[in-house]
Amino acid sequence: MSESTTRTDPILAFEEKKDPTFLDATELVLNMGPQHPSTHGVLRVILKLDGEKVLGTECVIGYLHRGVEKIAEHRTYAMFNPYVDRMDYVAAVSNGLGYCEAVEKLLNVEAPPRAQYIRVILTELNRIASHQLWLGTHALDIGAMTPLFYTFRDREEVLKIFERYCGARLTTHSFRIGGCQYETYEGFEQDVKKFCDFFEPKIDEYEQLLTTNRIWVQRTKGVGILSGPDCKALGVTGPVLRASGVKWDLRKAQPYAAYKDFEFEIPTGQNGDTYDRYLVRVAEMRQSLRIIRQAVEGIPEGAIMAKIPKVLKPPVGEIYHSIEAPKGELGYFVVSDGSTQPYRVRVRPPSFVNLQALNKMVIGGLVADVVAVIGTLDIVLGEVDR
């Protein structure tokens, strides 16, 4: 039985009723519409304000809903692989990694070690690229225009490596079920090493611009505080959770790919405010460099693709597999009915669940903080809406 619930959109309600008390009350309803220079993607936030103070928010999402999960039921497993890139288009490699690993688990195969190392290298490079984009746009929202250009300029180097490897910069479709399709190109290791050496001082450059900048600190310290227990209850994961003091990273808690072999730290914050999230993500970039360096040193020789049948027909069953995407815990719940097409693919998007926390984080704050908090949650609407 299908049913549709209608709800009065407060802005529309006003226009319909021409409520005479609309402007008179101490509450002002303001619409940060889906098109906005600051919200990252088509996100609509309806704010209830008392002057400058935020009394409540409501997020209206779904402007980018493309029915990816429905499409999955009508494509074969391998055919669905390019679709997952388009969800979190900023960190496409992670999406691909999660999906390939989930299906591999369902098939009960494991990618060969060389493929796993390549996967780790590309995923960590992608994590750096995603955090760079986040840093640039977040700084731009808060008013510092310059870091955007610096981070995008440096991000070009990562995208060049991706382009040389698989031909695409953004939605890379870099992995296949069972391993990687492409062997690393001639000079891949040198390129990656060169990038690591090139990028390390750049992180220092970004920090120099922002970390001790008085205005930056004033704009981000104490803004959008979310405590550890709140994070866990709200299901918030990723750098937001770590900045609230919970030292939890799926790469260490439930290692996947080749992460067991590498030594790295999990940066955490203390207060759970925007400044801590900024520090955590910058530190994560450094840790990613560390992982990449270790991985490049130790890439084993061997096959890059496991032996799987040409026609993938996983046995009947269901599986849930999640990875640590740059935004948080990205999970895939794949149900197979034994045929070539998945019966159900459910994507558990980190941005979707993190966005729920927006309400808690901005109530009591000011309007200008709403923009900062949306930026610090690092949401990508492609993932929120799928």
Partner 1 sequence: MADETKGSDQPAPPKPSEGAAAASEKPAAPPAATPPAAKPAVPAPPPKPAGPVPLPWESEMVTRLRQRFGSGLQPFTYLGQNYVIADPSIVAQMLQELRDEEQFDYCVDVTAVHYPKREKQFDVVWVLYSFPRNQRVRVKTMIAEAESAPSATALWESANWLEREVFDMFGLRFDGHPDLRRILLPDGWKGHPLRKDYGIIQQDQEWVQINLGIESGQ
Partner 2 sequence: MQSFLEYLKSNVTPGQAGDPLWALIYILIIFGGVSLVVMSMNWLERKALAHMQVRLGPMRVGPHGLLQPIADAIKLFIKEDIIPEGADKLVFWLAPVVIVIAAFTVYIVVPFGPTHAVTDMNIGLLFMLGVASLATLGVIMAGWASNSHYPLLGSLRSSAQMVSYEIAMGMAVVSAVLMTSFAGGSGFLGEIYGTGGANPAGGTLSMIGIVRAQEAQHIWFVFKFFPLGLIAFFVFAVAMVAETNRTPFDLPEAESELTAGFHTEYSGLRWSLFMLGEYAAMVAVSSIAVTLWLGGWLRPFSSWHGPVITLDSYWQGGAVDFVFSLFPALLFFFLALVGFLGVVRMPKHPLFRVQTWGLAAFALVLGGIGVVLLAPPVRDRVQDIFWFTAKVAVFMYLYIWYRGTFPRYRFDQLMRLGWKFMIPTGIAVLIATALVGVLA
Q: Is 69 in the site for partner 1 (CB under 8 A)?
A: yes
Nearer to partner 2 by Cβ, of 222 and 255: the residue is 222
139 binds, among partner 2, partner 1, none (CB under 5 to 8 A by kind): partner 2
Q: For partner 2, which is the closer residue by CB, 196 or 367?
A: 367
**Interacting partner of 309 out of partner 2, partner 1, none (Cβ under 5 to 8 A depending on kind):** partner 1
Contact flag: residue 311 with partner 2 (CB under 8 A): no
| Shorter beta-carbon distance to partner 1: residue 43 or 161 | 43
140 phi and psi angles, rounded to 5 deg: -65, -40
Q: Which stretch binds partner 1 (CB under 8 A): 169-177, 195-203, 204-212, 314-322?
A: 314-322
Q: Does 170 bind partner 2 (CB under 8 A)?
A: no
CA distances for 218 relative to 214, 370, 381, angstroms:
6, 15, 28
149 binds partner 2 (CB under 8 A): yes
Residue 367 contacts partner 2 per CB under 8 A: yes
By the rule CB under 8 A, 366 interacts with partner 2: yes
> Does 329 interact with partner 1 (rule: CB under 8 A)?
yes
Cα separation, 191 vs 121, in Å, equals 12
Q: Does position 215 bind partner 1 by CB under 8 A?
A: no
364 binds partner 2 (CB under 8 A): no
Residue 145 near partner 2 by CB under 8 A: yes
Q: Is 46 in the site for partner 2 (CB under 8 A)?
A: no
Q: Is 140 in the site for partner 2 (CB under 8 A)?
A: yes
Interacting partner of 286 out of partner 2, partner 1, none (Cβ under 5 to 8 A depending on kind): none
270 or 356: whose CB is closer to partner 1? 356
Pick between residue 142 and residue 384 the one whose CB is nearest to partner 1: 384
Handedness of CA 214, 217, 222, 223 (dihedral sign): positive
Query: Nearest distance from residue 316's CB to partner 1, in Å?
Result: 5
Binding site for partner 2 (CB under 8 A): 28, 30, 32, 37-38, 52, 139-146, 148-150, 153, 209-210, 213, 215-216, 218-219, 366-371
Binding site for partner 1 (CB under 8 A): 1-7, 9, 61-62, 65, 67, 69-71, 73-74, 105-110, 232-236, 246, 248, 253-254, 306-309, 314-320, 322, 329, 331, 333, 335, 337-338, 343-344, 346, 348, 352-353, 355-356, 385-386
